[in-house]
Structure 1
Amino acid sequence: MTSAPVPGSPADCPAQRRSGGIRRSVGMKDVAALAGVSPKTVSNVINGVVPVATATRERVREAIRLLDYRPNTSARNLRRGRTGMVGLILPELDVPYFAELARCFLEAAEGRFTLLIEQTLGERAREEAVLDALGAQVVDGIVLSPLNLRASELAVRLRDMPVVLIGERPSEGLTDHVAVDNVRAARDAVEHLLGLGRRRVAAIGAQPDAGVGTPLLRLTGYREALRAAGLPEQPELECETPGYHRQDGASAMAALLDGGEPFDAVFCFNDALALGAQRVLHERGIRVPEDVAVVGFDDVDESRFSVPSLSSVSPDKDAIAREALSLLQRRIEDPAAPVREAVIGHRLRVRESTSGRTVRGGR
């Protein structure tokens, strides 16, 4: 005689439970029993608010997978008077960085939130319109990468809506904020070029009236690196762009080459600019990195497959998504919680555009 599998045991997996024709409902206690943890720990892993040790978190996730456990988020949200949906508002989804960041948010939100993703095209009117639409109690909270609206304006417009800002616009101490240290990251990129013996380093991506956003912060890091190396600022090599797309990088590189000012390296404020710049260098017969070394910013997937592959500053996009959603959930649970400013790490991925050789592993 075969005994029935014990709830929470490895034998009590989806295949065994379905073989009898009726799927037994699996609860959080079953997951906890299989993982050897408390139901509270399972809840912490699912909700992502309280940190859980990596080994424990993976054990719980494996138990969830084996038991095919699906949290009843609808019932939970109904009890709490919530929708279980949050808005993710990004400038441009066809920009590789934001497309990859959106994917990271989708992965981080799995089992916690349903995401409504909107884009603003970097236009103030669209930022306002999207916020008004989502702010009408359609979502429980919003993660926003603003290019125009200031935090003080957001505070007035959204009032009691939980909001987390991502990107370079300052939070003014009014809302939770997740960002990369763009000044330090840009300085690291330029110091890498200077460490190769390059002395005439161009910058592509400056913008007039950029306020305190990405262009100014990365330009500041570029200039700091020059000064730290005892080099004068080189305004003739600072090239403004109207946007951060490949064509903008190509046009900027053509203008630099046609301007006649010599340079032996270029720091581009994102990878799209760098890829456009590299294309023009190739068309003009200028070798990368032998004649001009190139560094980008964002470490998008495309940078690993360009020829030559692109050295790039790599912000931890997964960490940005995890931290932003954790802060948002914390804000939803406790609207009076202290405002937090989270700085996410970065690293420089050195590839062929500066090293002149293939980097093993491609990263």
Structure 2
Amino acid sequence: MSATMRDVARLAKVSIKTVSNVVNDYPHIRPETRARVEAAIEALGYRPNLSARGLRSGRTRVIGLAVPELRQNYFAELADSVIAAAEERQLSVVVGQHGGDRERETAILREGLRHTDGLLFSPERLGQEDQELFEVDYPLVLLGERIFGAPADHVAMHNTSAAQAAVEHLIERGRRRIALVGAHPDGRLGQVRPSDLRLAGYRRALTEADIPLDPTLERPVAPWHPQNGVDATRELIASGVEFDAVFALNDTLALGVLRALAEAGIAVPDQVAVIGFDNIDDGRFTVPSLSTVDTGRDDIAALA
């Protein structure tokens, strides 16, 4: 069992109050007493109860990060970046995932993540119509592109212009039949979603290059998991639609695209060029290495 403050007090032969004073760095303690308590803490492996300390000080120095799911590489690597940025500021991080469940997202907003000083929150199901839910009594920073104009600080990325740049990169290399993998299945551009913003950038790049839009090249995929990238690319190949490049709306999908093309014996990039979005670590280890859009994940984490 974990050591308690009472165990430390017993071993150091002091009161529980004295142990608390040492843990909270109370200045008026005799050096020999402090040394005895610190030795007992070390011997027992005692770890202070952060939530209890927070009740006394008003701060826990712990922040929360709530994301859709850590199985998506981007969010796992975002969590890593947030933790690194927090450690530089002597903060700890509690990570939670809401799984894209609306009720869970609402509950996290209502309650925060327990015993934290504030929350970094990346919603998936809440939208523009839910702005009043973001009027909370704790520090909140929104991440992502689901909601704009909410009463909270917000750190976002340049989805549309970055997607346009990715497609322009393909066009500059002579590609004209550029498929897109990852459009939202309902195909609407009215709701604010990363897929819609990136689709808009894709279409803008083609239009400005005088390349006709071809709906057969836009492949809907949800969620953005590797197997769905595989399946969408297999369907694209089987359809007989000609294409010489693929823009995957995230790198996780792009990994699936590369797998399906390899299965079909299609050479990358000689026959079909592929570019993704997010710059996840795994993209450096594909053959060939995945071209991608760097979203500035570390900068997003540090700013948030």
Q: TM-score range by the shorter chain?
A: 0.7 to 0.9
The equivalent residue for 2:14 is: none
Asked if structure 2 preserves the Cα contact closer than 8 Å seen for 1:151 and 1:175, the reply is no
Which of residues 279, 290, 300 in structure 2 aligns to 1:299? 279
The equivalent residue for 2:98 is: 120
1:195 aligns with 2:172: yes
Query: Could you tell me how far apart the structure 1 residues matched to 2:277 and 2:180 are?
Result: 12
The size of the alignment, in residue pairs, is: 252
TM-score normalised according to structure 2 size: 0.77
Asked if structure 1 preserves the Cα contact closer than 8 Å seen for 2:110 and 2:136, the reply is no
Q: Using the TM superposition, give the Cα deviation of residue 144 of structure 1 relative to its aligned residue in structure 2, in angstroms.
A: 0.5
Asked if structure 1 preserves the Cα contact closer than 8 Å seen for 2:51 and 2:115, the reply is no
SS at structure 2 position matched to 1:164: strand
Query: Could you tell me how far apart the structure 2 residues matched to 1:219 and 1:253 are?
Result: 17
Q: Using the TM superposition, give the Cα deviation of residue 215 of structure 1 relative to its aligned residue in structure 2, in angstroms.
A: 0.5
Q: Which amino acid is the alignment partner of residue 298 of structure 2?
A: D
Asked if structure 1 preserves the Cα contact closer than 8 Å seen for 2:132 and 2:150, the reply is no
The equivalent residue for 2:86 is: 109
The equivalent residue for 1:312 is: 292
The equivalent residue for 2:37 is: none
Asked if structure 1 preserves the Cα contact closer than 8 Å seen for 2:53 and 2:60, the reply is no
Query: Could you tell me how far apart the structure 1 residues matched to 2:245 and 2:78 are?
Result: 28
1:216 aligns with 2:196: yes
Deviations 1:303-361 (A, max 9, x none): 0001111000011111001100xxxxxxxxxxxxxxxxxxxxxxxxxxxxxxxxxxxxx
Which of residues 210, 213, 217 in structure 2 aligns to 1:233? 213
Query: Could you tell me how far apart the structure 1 residues matched to 2:128 and 2:116 are?
Result: 19
Query: Could you tell me how far apart the structure 1 residues matched to 2:235 and 2:301 are?
Result: 37
Q: 1:157 to 1:176 in 2, by over 3 A?
A: closer
Query: Could you tell me how far apart the structure 2 residues matched to 1:208 and 1:287 are?
Result: 28
Q: Using the TM superposition, give the Cα deviation of residue 287 of structure 1 relative to its aligned residue in structure 2, in angstroms.
A: 0.6
Asked if structure 2 preserves the Cα contact closer than 8 Å seen for 1:165 and 1:171, the reply is no
SS at structure 1 position matched to 2:289: coil
1:246 aligns with 2:223: no
Query: Could you tell me how far apart the structure 2 residues matched to 1:314 and 1:239 are?
Result: 23
Q: 1:161 to 1:75 in 2, by over 3 A?
A: closer
TM-score normalised according to structure 1 size: 0.65
Q: Using the TM superposition, give the Cα deviation of residue 152 of structure 1 relative to its aligned residue in structure 2, in angstroms.
A: 6.0
The equivalent residue for 1:270 is: 250
Asked if structure 2 preserves the Cα contact closer than 8 Å seen for 1:223 and 1:233, the reply is yes
The equivalent residue for 2:116 is: 139
Asked if structure 1 preserves the Cα contact closer than 8 Å seen for 2:54 and 2:115, the reply is no
Which of residues 131, 140, 143 in structure 2 aligns to 1:163? 140
Q: Using the TM superposition, give the Cα deviation of residue 113 of structure 1 relative to its aligned residue in structure 2, in angstroms.
A: 2.2
Q: After the TM superposition, which of the residue ranges 169-178 and 139-148 deviates more from structure 2?
A: 169-178
Q: Which amino acid is the alignment partner of residue 308 of structure 1?
A: P
Q: Using the TM superposition, give the Cα deviation of residue 140 of structure 1 relative to its aligned residue in structure 2, in angstroms.
A: 1.9
Structure 1 unaligned segments of length 5 or more: list them: 1-26, 28-72, 325-363
Q: 1:159 to 1:131 in 2, by over 3 A?
A: closer
Asked if structure 1 preserves the Cα contact closer than 8 Å seen for 2:134 and 2:151, the reply is no
Q: Which amino acid is the alignment partner of residue 294 of structure 2?
A: S
Asked if structure 2 preserves the Cα contact closer than 8 Å seen for 1:108 and 1:322, the reply is yes
1:285 aligns with 2:265: yes
Asked if structure 2 preserves the Cα contact closer than 8 Å seen for 1:91 and 1:145, the reply is yes
Deviations 1:112-164 (A, max 9, x none): 322111001122122123333426x7322111011111366354365312211
Which of residues 97, 107, 121 in structure 2 aligns to 1:129? 107
Percent identity between matched residues is 47
Query: Could you tell me how far apart the structure 2 residues matched to 1:228 and 1:170 are?
Result: 28
Q: 1:158 to 1:83 in 2, by over 3 A?
A: farther
The equivalent residue for 1:36 is: none
Asked if structure 2 preserves the Cα contact closer than 8 Å seen for 1:269 and 1:297, the reply is yes
Query: Could you tell me how far apart the structure 2 residues matched to 1:270 and 1:291 are?
Result: 21
Q: After the TM superposition, which of the residue ranges 97-106 and 118-127 deviates more from structure 2?
A: 118-127
Query: Could you tell me how far apart the structure 2 residues matched to 1:288 and 1:268 are?
Result: 14
